[in-house]
Structure 1
Amino acid sequence: MKKIFIQLMVVLVSGLLFTSCDADSSANVSQVTYYANLTMNGNALVVLTQGQTYTENGVDAEADGKTLEVKIAGTVDTNKPGVYKLTYSALNSDGFPASLVRTVVILSNQPSTINLEGSFVRGANVNNVTKLEDRKYVCDNATGYNVANDNITLVFYNIDDKQIYAPYTENASKSGISAESNVGTITDKNNWKWVIYASSVFGTAERIFKR
Structure 2
Amino acid sequence: MKNIFKLGILAMVLATGLTSCENEDPIGSRVTVYPEMTLNGEAVVVLTEGDSFTDQGAVSLIGEDEVEVTTTGNVDPTTPGVYDLYYSSANEDGFSAQLRRTIIVLSAEPSTINLEGTFYRNGNANNIVKIADRVYTSDNAGGLGIADAKNFIKFTFYNIDDERIYAPYQTNTSESGISVETNIGTIVSENNFTWVLYASATYGTAVRNFTR
Asked if these proteins are the same fold (TM beyond 0.5), I'd say: yes
Work out the CA distance in 2 between the residues paired with 1:93 and 1:30. 15
- For the structure 1 residues 23 and 33, does the alpha-carbon distance in structure 2 shift closer, same or farther, using more than 3 Å as the test? farther
1:148 Cα deviation (Å)? 0.9
Aligned-partner residue type, residue 20 of structure 1: S
Work out the CA distance in 2 between the residues paired with 1:182 and 1:23. 59
1:18 Cα deviation (Å)? 2.8
Work out the CA distance in 1 between the residues paired with 2:198 and 2:51. 29
Look up the SS of the partner of 1:20 in the other structure.
helix
The worse-fitting range, judged by mean Cα deviation, of 151-160 and 193-202 is 193-202
When the two chains are superposed, the root-mean-square deviation of aligned CA atoms in Å is: 2.1
Aligned-partner residue type, residue 118 of structure 2: S
Look up the SS of the partner of 1:76 in the other structure.
coil
Match of 2:156 in 1: 155
Q: Deviations over 1:37-60 (max 9, x none)?
A: 111101001000011111110101
Work out the CA distance in 2 between the residues paired with 1:152 and 1:22. 63
Q: Deviations over 1:169-211 (max 9, x none)?
A: 1110011111111111111101111111111111111111111
- For the structure 1 residues 21 and 128, does the alpha-carbon distance in structure 2 shift closer, same or farther, using more than 3 Å as the test? same
Report the count of equivalent residues: 209
Residue 121 (1) aligns with residue 126 (2) = no
Work out the CA distance in 2 between the residues paired with 1:24 and 1:124. 71
TM-score when normalising by structure 1: 0.91
Work out the CA distance in 1 between the residues paired with 2:165 and 2:90. 35
Q: What percentage of residue pairs aligned between the two structures are identical? A: 49
Match of 1:13 in 2: 13
Work out the CA distance in 2 between the residues paired with 1:204 and 1:113. 29
Look up the SS of the partner of 1:131 in the other structure.
strand
1:22 Cα deviation (Å)? 3.6
Work out the CA distance in 1 between the residues paired with 2:20 and 2:192. 72
Aligned-partner residue type, residue 208 of structure 2: R
Residue 91 (1) aligns with residue 100 (2) = no
Look up the SS of the partner of 2:18 in the other structure.
helix
Q: 1:43-192 residue pairs with structure 2 within 5 A?
A: 43-146=42-145, 147-192=148-193
Look up the SS of the partner of 1:149 in the other structure.
helix
Listed as ranges, the gaps of 5+ residues in structure 1 are none
Match of 1:207 in 2: 208
1:158 Cα deviation (Å)? 0.3
Work out the CA distance in 2 between the residues paired with 1:22 and 1:203. 57
Work out the CA distance in 1 between the residues paired with 2:41 and 2:170. 17
Work out the CA distance in 1 between the residues paired with 2:134 and 2:209. 19
Aligned-partner residue type, residue 95 of structure 1: G
TM-score when normalising by structure 2: 0.91
- Give 4+ residue runs of structure 1 displaced > 4 Å after superposition: 5-12
1:13 Cα deviation (Å)? 3.4
- For the structure 1 residues 59 and 23, does the alpha-carbon distance in structure 2 shift closer, same or farther, using more than 3 Å as the test? farther
Work out the CA distance in 1 between the residues paired with 2:16 and 2:203. 58
Aligned-partner residue type, residue 78 of structure 2: N
1:21 Cα deviation (Å)? 1.7
Work out the CA distance in 1 between the residues paired with 2:42 and 2:54. 11
Work out the CA distance in 1 between the residues paired with 2:19 and 2:111. 78
